[in-house]
């Protein structure tokens, strides 16, 4: 994987890249993981299972090979020959750093149900 940061940078770096270059995805709970060369065949890519195992401590639930998005290099320049890989995570600490939009569920209780108690 050319220009891949997988395993070479800490979680704070991944949060930085996600928030600064893919803020709309950050708000949805997706974390940037690394770039993938568009020329890499599907058979040569790391499998979702391997990626999920590597990020296990952040409670990953899905992997997205975002081949419709543009990747960025370490100089923060767009590179059209690469696309980013994202991980959907459930780790609350990281989600807060990403600016994840939490939706508060409001419990609606019928007055009549309370009277039955």
The 10s digit of each residue's pLDDT in 89-110 is: 999 999 999 999 775 544 455 5
In a domain, 85, yes or no: yes
Give the total residue count for the chain: 117
Q: Is residue 78's pLDDT more than 60? A: yes
Range of 22's domain? 11-116
Q: Supply the pLDDT for residue 3.
A: 38
CA-nearest of 87, 91, 88, 70 to 79 is: 70
Asked, for residue 5, whether it belongs to a domain, the answer is: no
6 located within any domain: no
Strands (E), 1-117: 30-37, 60-65, 71-72, 78-79, 82-89
Model pLDDT for residues 3-52, shown as the tens digit of each residue: 344 455 789 999 999 999 999 999 999 999 999 888 888 778 888 999 99
- Better pLDDT: 53 or 115: 53
Report whether 83 contacts 113 (CB < 8 A). Answer: no
Question: Mean pLDDT in the chain?
Answer: 83
- Distance (Å, whole) CA 106 – CA 51: 35
* Within a domain: 50: yes
1 located within any domain? no
């Amino acid at each position: 994987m050319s220009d891949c940061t997988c395993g070479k940078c800490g979680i704070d770096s991944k949060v930085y890249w996600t928030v600064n270059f893919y803020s709309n995805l950050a708000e949805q709970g997706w974390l940037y993981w690394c770039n993938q060369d568009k020329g890499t065949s599907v058979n040569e890519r790391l499998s979702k299972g391997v990626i999920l195992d590597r990020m296990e401590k952040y409670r990953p639930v899905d992997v997205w090979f975002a081949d419709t998005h543009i990747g960025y290099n370490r100089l923060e320049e767009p590179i059209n020959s690469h696309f980013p890989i994202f991980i959907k995570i459930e780790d609350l600490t990281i989600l807060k750093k990403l600016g994840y939009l939490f939706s508060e569920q409001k419990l609606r209780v019928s007055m009549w149900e309370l009277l039955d108690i």
